[in-house]
A and B are shown apart, each in its own frame.
Chain A
Amino acid sequence: MSQTLTSSSQAVRTPAPARSPADRIAQWIPKLVLSPTLVIVVVFFYGFIFWTGLLSFTNSRMLPSYGLVGWDNYVRLFNNERWLVALGNLGIYAFLFIVICLVLGLLLAILLDQKIRAEGALRTIYLYPMALSFIVTGTVWKWMLNPQVGLEQFVQSLGWESFQFDWLVNPDFSIYTVVIAAVWQSSGFVMALFLAGLRGVDDSIIKAAQIDGASRFTIYTRIIIPSLRPVFFSAFIMLAHIAIKSFDLALALTGGGPGISSDLPAIFMYQLSFTRNQMGIGAASAMIMLLTVIAILVPYLYSELRVKKHD
């Protein structure tokens, strides 16, 4: 190798000047600036999760106390009929909410993607409920679904005397009213996600398929919709997350009732912890909710990261 090592490097060389104190502080600024957030993450996120986990193994009632009781709270939790109802309700609610939102959102997005006039206005209309508080949504639907004054009474007064729509006050159906209101609020958001996804599909692929003679229906079912897989994934995660956290909507709409028929884990957790003085069990139920979120999130993140590595 002919690396040139000339001898001019033997010339007298001034040693490196020391960095001034100001410069040295400057080097620490980025870390310094991030440190409050680091405290937030370590203490308020993970520390508090750990703390909640700890509380779930104690005999805390109205105030935290630290007598360890092992798995007692979890045993009592899963022997509690109200919790089991809440879990079952969450299953029904989450399943229907996610499926209907995905189907409706995709359908609306595809319809809107047909070079529609006034697309902007329609999009605005489909999406505005997302700007509302769940409490507002609950208040409105509570009134509309009320059999005495709402839709049922309205349809009956139009002449269809036998019309019945009393889900709100019917213990067998009350959870479905939560689904109706939640879908109304969130499906527009799924539509927006899918629409963004549709607009991102490579145009040349569609043109290639058209040249190959594929019908519009085939292009959608065989090419476009499969390519939206990542959108399905993230929409699913968001919806599942909303469903598990659902608290305000059910509280405002049904209050968990009639009875406990539309109870959800988030309501259960809140009431046991803050109004029924059963902090230990409340903490245990919170941990179960967290684990559910993790159970959904981890496979998602895993698959996301794996895909990225393949790229």
Chain B
Amino acid sequence: MASLNIENVEKSFDQTHILKGINMDIRDGEFIILVGPSGCGKSTLMNCIAGLEDVTSGSISIANQDITSVLPKNRDIAMVFQSYALYPNMNVRKNISFGLEIRKLPKDVIANEVDRVAKLLQIEHLLDRKPGQLSGGQRQRVAMGRALARQPKIYLFDEPLSNLDAKLRVEMRTEIKKLHQRLGTTIVYVTHDQIEAMTLADRIAVMKDGHIQQFGSPQEVYDNPANRFVAGFMGSPSMNFIEVLVVQKQDRACIELAIDGITHYLPTPDQEQRVRQMVGQTVILGIRPEQITHVIPHYDDNPGIARVDATVEVIEPTGADTLVLVRMNGQEVNCRVDPYEARQPGQVMTLMLNMGKAVFFDVDSGERI
């Protein structure tokens, strides 16, 4: 277990810049998640941390020791791969002990270590099988066991759950979380599944185009996205983005929202200061579906709550909630309402907007206002 510091790391292949100056300070025992669309550089960053690829510039340190040019085998890092990368010709026991044998540990130490890990992951009964005889979930456990056996300073997980079916994925997610709580290890975990990111991380780093867009706690990233990309990437269904005009109404900065031919002027209580400077300009209003609900009477007094009537276009029941599609300023907007309050398509429904949770972005740059 150790801290991990990444300073100004850049990586390019020929003319292509994959990483364009990455800075991260990861504390001892932190669970860090890297998310981002494919091609954003998250896997490359992972390989650079592991030493499987050299960085073009910048430095990486583990436990305050610079390891930028140290070979992977000497970095004391373990990695769990998407494909599990179990050695097909070795049984589970061999898979787990391979790294220990190479490091020339005494036989009895290796045997103890294998037993410990097998018990921890409940794979004792699989030790003599070959990877080909295991199910996906079992392979996943073995891959983790191989990483755990060496008790390295840092663990890297490269989309470890993406090859599992949905149910197993949720189970393993919980299990990884428990494991982290129990062992308190430093983990860097790559995923493209934002639910995994939200549930597991101490801090999330959202990456795009070789940059870290935002690095913060899950709730921070969710509630206060740094820019439109982060806002759209985290959350499912995604945040609604509506182009709106900012106007001055009775001394307050409001946004103009046309729904079914009626223009509403909605105040922006929490962000009055910032939005006021934008009067007369168009901005992007970002509002999550769960902030547009059916009418909940006792919320009425909260500042920033507004009621609007809208014609329902499409409904998508999900069981717990029903997603209702309406149109505001001519743009499609998802609302998350109680299944029993939802109206049928074509009918008019009264919705409640919580503008207190709304965020605003610049039209051109996508940056937060």
Contacts and interface: CB of A to CB of B under 8 A. Distances in A.
A contacts B directly in the complex (CB < 8 Å)? yes
Interface of A: 1-6, 8-9, 11-19, 23, 26
Contacts of B213: 1
Contacts of A14: 64-66
Nearest to B25: A6
B71 A13 contact: no
A16 B25 contact: no
A2 B7 contact: no
A2 B64 CA distance: 24
Given A4-B216, A8-B25, A19-B70, 10 more contacts: A1-B227, A3-B212, A8-B3, A9-B7, A9-B25, A13-B64, A13-B66, A14-B66, A15-B66, A16-B68
B181 interface: no
21 contacts: A1-B226, A1-B227, A2-B215, A2-B226, A3-B23, A3-B212, A3-B214, A4-B24, A4-B25, A4-B215, A5-B23, A8-B27, A9-B7, A13-B65, A13-B66, A14-B64, A16-B66, A16-B67, A19-B70, A23-B71, A26-B71
Interface in B59-83: 59, 61, 64-71, 74
Contacts of A9: 5, 7, 25
Interface residues of B, number: 27
Contact of B214 (A1, A5, A12, A23): A1
Contacts of A17: 70
A9 B62 CA distance: 11
Contacts of B25: 4-6, 8-9
Nearest to A12: B64
Main SS at interface, chain B: strand
Contacts of B61: 13
B222 to A, nearest CB: 13
Interface string B332-347: 0000000000000000
A23 B69 CA distance: 11
Nearest to B21: A3
Contacts of B68: 16
Nearest to B220: A2
Contacts of A13: 5, 61, 64-66
A17 B69 CA distance: 8
A16 B23 contact: no
Nearest to B61: A13
Nearest to B24: A4
Contacts of A18: 69
Interface string B36-68: 000000000000000000000001010011111
A13 B215 CA distance: 23
B238 to A, nearest CB: 20
Given A3-B23, A4-B215, A11 B66 contact: no
A9 B4 CA distance: 10
B367 to A, nearest CB: 8
Contacts of B227: 1
